[in-house]
Amino acid sequence: MPITIETLDDSTCVSIDGELTIYTVAELAGELLPRMSGAPRLMLDLSQVTEMDGAGLQLLAVIQREADSAGTALSVTGQSVAVTQALELCRKAAS
């Protein structure tokens, strides 16, 4: 199971284990997105992500957008090297 979702009090903890790529996004999105509504706090643990591509990036962008619109407080509790690199690549600000 690439994804574990635990609900503690008012916060939902989600940790993704394995790839965050085109091969897994459909499953992840199916598991994750329905649980988001109603949870006041969402903790995203990306420390076990082994690989991330454009599709994974898009999923994170959607999660962020949905969280914003629902007023959910989103926090990323950990990120692996793969995630950091991918995010750096597409978030480079003017140096």
Partner 1 sequence: MSINLDQALQTFIVEAHELLQVMEQSLLQLETEPADQDAIGAIFRAAHTIKGSAGLFGLNPVVSFTHIVEDVLDRLRDGSVAVDSRLIAVLLKCGDHMLELINVVASRGEPLQPAALEREAALREALSTYQAPHHTPDTGAQHTEAGAADRANAPAEVLWHISLRFGVDVFRNGMDPLSFLRYLETLGQITQVTTLTDSIPALDSWDPESCYLGFEIELRSTASHATLNEVFDFVRDDCDVHIDAIDEASDSAVSIGSELVAQAEQGPLTASVQRLPAASEPKTRDGNYVRVNADKLDELINLVGELVIASAGASLLARSCNNDPLQEATSTVSGLVEEILDGALHLRMIPIGDTFNRFRRVVRDISQELGKDIELTISGAETELDKTVVEKIGDPLMHLLRNAMDHGIESADARRAAGKAGKGHLSLNAYHDSGSIVIEIADDGNGLNRERILEKAQERGLVASGAVLSDQEIYNLIFEPGFSTAEAVTNLSGRGVGMDVVKRNITLLRGTVDLDSRPGQGTVVRIRLPLTLAIINGFLVGIDTSTYVIPLDMVQECIELDEHQRQSSREKGYLDLRGEVLPLVDLREHFSHEGSAGRRQNVVVVRYAEHKAGLVVDDLLGEFQTVIKPLGKLFGALRGISGSTILGSGAVALILDVPALLNQIVQLEARTPQAPYSPTVVAR
- What does the binding site for partner 1 look like in residue numbers (CB under 8 A)? 21-22, 25-26, 28-29, 33, 52-55, 57-59, 61-62, 65-66, 86, 89-95
> Residue 9 Cβ, how far from partner 1 at the closest point, in Å?
25
DSSP per-residue codes, 39-78: -SEEEEEEEEEEEE-HHHHHHHHHHHHHHHHHT-EEEEEE
Q: Which is nearer to partner 1, 58 or 75 (CB)?
A: 58
Q: How far is the CB of 85 from partner 1 (least distance, A)?
A: 9
| Min dist. Cβ of residue 90 to partner 1 (A) | 4
Closer to partner 1 at the Cβ: 43 or 83? 83
Identity of the residue, 28 or 44, whose beta carbon is nearer to partner 1 in the bound complex: 28
Strand order across the 11-20 sheet: 3-8, 11-20, 41-52, 73-79
Closest approach of partner 1 to the CB of residue 45, in Å: 19
| Cα–Cα separations (whole angstroms), residue 10 to 5, 7, 42, 66, 72 | 13, 7, 9, 17, 11
